[in-house]
Amino acid sequence: MNEVEFNIRLYLTGVMKSWSDRIDNTDQLTPQRFILSAMTELFDSLSEDEIEMIRLRYMKGLTLSEVASRYSISERTVRNHTNPTVKQVKEIIARAKKNELIDRKEEIECQ
């Protein structure tokens, strides 16, 4: 399982929120809270069908072909509905990592 799949699973199962709350109970924007907030915004913008397609692909492990047959659509259509979200999750993770590195650099410079 790669980092994107892992984060999608954490988000869809609700584990990401409970971990974020446990890791940091302040209102500071930590990398974990940034990812949670950005993914909440992203998934709130999706249709129920798009969320279900992502759930089938990344939680149930169905192939593109299996998801397509459940919806009676082509694999290309499944890709068109899921790939933009996966790409955005990758970007969210990359931004969180970049922000964390910047925060650490500033913390070191202040010492």
CA distance 89 to 56: 17
pLDDT-derived band of residue 110, with 50, 70 and 90 as boundaries? Answer: low
* pTM score over 0.85: no
Backbone dihedral region of 72: left (phi > 0), alpha (psi from -120 to 50 degrees) or beta? left
pLDDT, residue 43, reads 97
Residues with Cβ within 8 Å of residue 97, at least 6 apart in sequence: 31
Distance CA 7, CA 2 (A): 9
pLDDT tens for 59-104 read 999 999 999 999 999 999 999 999 999 999 999 999 998 877 665 5
What Cα–Cα distance (Å) separates residue 79 from each residue in 38, 50, 65, 104?
A: 22, 10, 10, 37
